[in-house]
Amino acid sequence: MNPNSGLKDLEAMDSPWKRFWETGLFPFLEISLGLSLGYTLSFLFFVASNELRLVDTSDTSFPVLQAVLLVFFGFGFLLRKYVPKAPKTLLLFLFSGNTLLLVWVYLYASSEFLIDYIFSFQFILLSSALTSFNTGMYCGSIKDFRSLSFALGITLFTFYSLFDIGIIVPLNTLIVVLLFLLEVYLSSIFFKQPSFSIRFYKIRSKIGNHPFFTPFYRSALSMLIAYLGLHLYFQPGPKIPVILSISFALFMGRILSLVNGIRRETKAIYLIGRILLLTGFFFFIYQSYWNYFYIALCIILAGLVGFFKPNNTKVSEYAFVALEAVAYFGLSLLLYHWNLPISLRTLLALLFVPIVSYQFFRTRSTVKIPKYAFVGISGLSVLFFFYPPSIRSTTPFSKKEIYEPIPFKISNIEIAKKDYIFYRTILPQESKSFLPKESEIEDKVVILGLVENTTQMISYIEKLRKENHKFIIFVSRKKNQTSTATNALSLLKRQSFWGYDIYFPAYMERPFQFSDLIPKDWRFKYFQDKLENADTNEIRLQLENTIRYSSGDLRKDALTIKRLYYESYAEYAKYYFRIGQNKLALDAIILARKFENPDIELLRIAYNSLKFTSPEPEFIPILEDLSLQNEFKEFAWNTLIPMFESIGDWKNALFTMESLERYYRDKNEISLAKELELVRVRLYLNQENWKDAEPLINQRAKENPDSVIWERLKNEVLEKKESAKRVYQRPEAREARIQ
């Protein structure tokens, strides 16, 4: 009896399970891993991009983080792609590092990237290096079957995100999921996949080895990489449509390349590839603002990359792709930043042509005419359609000023004090655009406002509280707080003033009291009851009634409080004018003048703001104040006349016009005074006041017989008078007119 027969029988019995593992279970695990990683990475990119809008990218920390991500991702990508067997010691080190990182993120990390970036930047740097290296290793191992599942995962997320824009998932949860998936990937490398299953993964493109088609892949890939870099440079932020178009086009292009019958259509495919690449180059050249045709450009280039991707690519080819992408990117930025005449810029832009056509001249094709035709059409595209990229159309961070004026002068706060650092506060003070970092808030009091990004703000407040940093939050009573903000504020102490509240942590002493100018005796209780929950108009009426009907100390204190309200809103007007927000400055002046007449400084701010603001009826009181000052009279009256006319206030329009006319005659500016007669006539005609309009028109027409304007007005008056007579003679028409 053969001793090995039992072993062979055992292997035969195991073979169905082995086949199931190799051709069923393992491929299923691979496609699940690819789908999950593609989906999770896209989700992570989406959430992180939204969070990055709140990060100060002007300091050195952010470029360092970007460099770490790129370098470690690239190193992991190249290592996995061109080193067949990863060292087991490296795999064990990565597995252990991921495990420790996973535990830290799960137990200690904040749910917002912003908070960890501000308070734990060193750990962010370390974890980013490790995670990007692992992700680079995975992307370097993407081939055939796995690449399709990875692209499908990206496409699924981008489709889903279009239907559910308000996706809210904590970043630490996403990182935990990503780390777990990378651990699964590292385990699969460590234990190796059976050799039999390799045959299952070799899904080969039917045109991937054709030498004529390689230029399409390399040229499209380099142009796509360069365009994505430029698009992010000029318009940073989440790019879901871009990701969707690229992932979907890559996926469909790769699927098309697997069709058996397509390899027989070599000439047609070559012709279509040239046309598509030229079309993509045309869109690339035409990107004057980097927002026209960008979806079409991404679909064309990504489709070419997916369809013409070779089955095997040497590392030297990727080096050429990188050089071309750098050339596209660098030349575009050079043309944008270099101030040259447009003719020289277009000639310099012809350097784009050798970049796109270089790959075609590297092939050994004997047909030279198509090559030269490709170069010629590319050059003509540059000459006729090149527009240097512009940053003018992009608004990466839209600046929204806060308009919630509060009467802060009734407290003893000194907002110019150097011990404070402000962020999005409702006080009239220059604020930081980004949340202050830990190094910036040492020995300072942070003054915050709950105006937007409430979730991040609450996390920031919680971190400040845990670290025992001093901070104060100003909240207007008019603002409706979300439940999240209300719950967070409930953990803090509160000091209430008239119209606003101040919140601060329990370990701080009470930061502010009522102003020393406000009495602390029985009169304070009187004003507290009257003003505590009143709005601006009610406060003004209460103070005016107290001044009118009271005497002695009560009247004196009411005048003081009224002055404090005026000074508070005047500070807002000065602040908004200083930062160029003219409309908000005028709105603050409207509030201030409810309590006192504006002084000359505030009137000068109103005058300069009105010159750059569209006139609105609510500005009429300010213009009337300006008309009382000699230096602003002419401007105020000229602005008031059309405003009164637009709201149908003919009486005030005529009065203002007559005042302006007298002003011009007193200054011997007779020509300007006569021009106002046309305004007077227009006002009469709009009121159908023929009695006053007709004598003036007839007199001026007689004095100026050659004047077309006065003759036309004369005829217009006659026609309107005749029309009015006809209406009067027909009762039904008169009734309709009255109705």
d(CA 28, CA 282): 42
What was the pLDDT predicted at 567?
92
Q: Is 379 exposed, middle or buried (0-12, 13-18, 19+ CB in 10 A)?
A: middle
pTM: 0.60
On the question of pLDDT at 730 being above 60, the answer is no
**3-state SS assignment for residue 627:** coil
CA atoms within 13 Å, Cβ hemisphere of 400: 7
Over range 560-585, report the average pLDDT: 90
How far from 496 is each of 291, 520, 568, CA to CA, in Å?
49, 15, 17
What was the pLDDT predicted at 564?
92
What was the pLDDT predicted at 290?
54
Range scoring the smallest mean pLDDT among 188-192, 197-201, 508-512: 197-201
- Tokens 């039904």: give the residue: 732
What was the pLDDT predicted at 170?
76
| 419-439 confidence digits (pLDDT tens) | 888 888 888 888 777 778 777
d(CA 629, CA 633): 6
d(CA 569, CA 595): 10
Q: With pLDDT > 90 as the criterion, what percentage of the chain qualifies?
A: 3
What was the pLDDT predicted at 397?
33
| 41-100 confidence digits (pLDDT tens) | 878 877 777 777 667 666 677 788 888 888 898 888 888 877 767 788 888 888 888 888
Tokens of residue 189, six digits: 């490398």
What was the pLDDT predicted at 243?
76
What was the pLDDT predicted at 620?
87
More confident site: 504 or 315: 504
> Do 512 and 413 touch, CB atoms closer than 8 A?
yes
Mean pLDDT of the chain: 76
**Residue 569 pLDDT level (bands cut at 50, 70, 90):** very high
What was the pLDDT predicted at 704?
62
Range scoring the smallest mean pLDDT among 211-215, 407-411, 576-580, 714-718: 714-718
**Residue 534 pLDDT level (bands cut at 50, 70, 90):** confident
**Residue 10 pLDDT level (bands cut at 50, 70, 90):** very low
Over range 598-614, report the average pLDDT: 88
> Do 456 and 114 touch, CB atoms closer than 8 A?
yes
What was the pLDDT predicted at 563?
92
d(CA 619, CA 452): 29
d(CA 496, CA 692): 60
Over range 240-256, report the average pLDDT: 77
What was the pLDDT predicted at 369?
66
**Residue 230 pLDDT level (bands cut at 50, 70, 90):** confident
Q: Is 42 exposed, middle or buried (0-12, 13-18, 19+ CB in 10 A)?
A: buried
Of the ranges 157-161, 308-312, 403-407, which is most confident? 403-407
* CA pseudo-torsion sign 308, 208, 252, 184: negative
What was the pLDDT predicted at 11?
46
On the question of pLDDT at 562 being above 80, the answer is yes
On the question of pLDDT at 566 being above 90, the answer is yes
Range scoring the smallest mean pLDDT among 70-84, 280-294, 437-451, 650-664: 280-294
More confident site: 165 or 428: 428
**3-state SS assignment for residue 56:** coil
How far from 394 is each of 165, 400, 402, 729, CA to CA, in Å?
21, 16, 22, 63
Q: With pLDDT > 70 as the criterion, what percentage of the chain qualifies?
A: 72
Give the single-character DSSP code of 411.
Answer: B
**Residue 260 pLDDT level (bands cut at 50, 70, 90):** low
Sequence-distant (6+) residues with CB within 8 A of 465 are 491, 505
Question: How many CB atoms lie under 10 A from the CB of residue 633?
Answer: 15
What was the pLDDT predicted at 451?
64
Over range 590-608, report the average pLDDT: 90
- Tokens 């009907």: give the residue: 549
More confident site: 673 or 736: 673
Over range 688-697, report the average pLDDT: 60
What was the pLDDT predicted at 699?
59
On the question of pLDDT at 392 being above 50, the answer is no
- Tokens 């962020």: give the residue: 423
Over range 633-649, report the average pLDDT: 80
What was the pLDDT predicted at 459?
78
Sequence-distant (6+) residues with CB within 8 A of 733 are 726, 727
How far from 27 is each of 7, 140, 145, 201, 494, CA to CA, in Å?
28, 18, 9, 8, 60
What was the pLDDT predicted at 437?
79
- Angle made by CA atoms 417, 418, 421, in degrees to the nearest 5: 100
What was the pLDDT predicted at 636?
83
**Residue 644 pLDDT level (bands cut at 50, 70, 90):** confident
- Tokens 């879901």: give the residue: 240
Sheet bearing 445-449, strands edge to edge: 420-423, 445-449, 471-476, 500-504, 493-496
Closest CA relative to residue 112, chosen from 63, 39, 168: 168
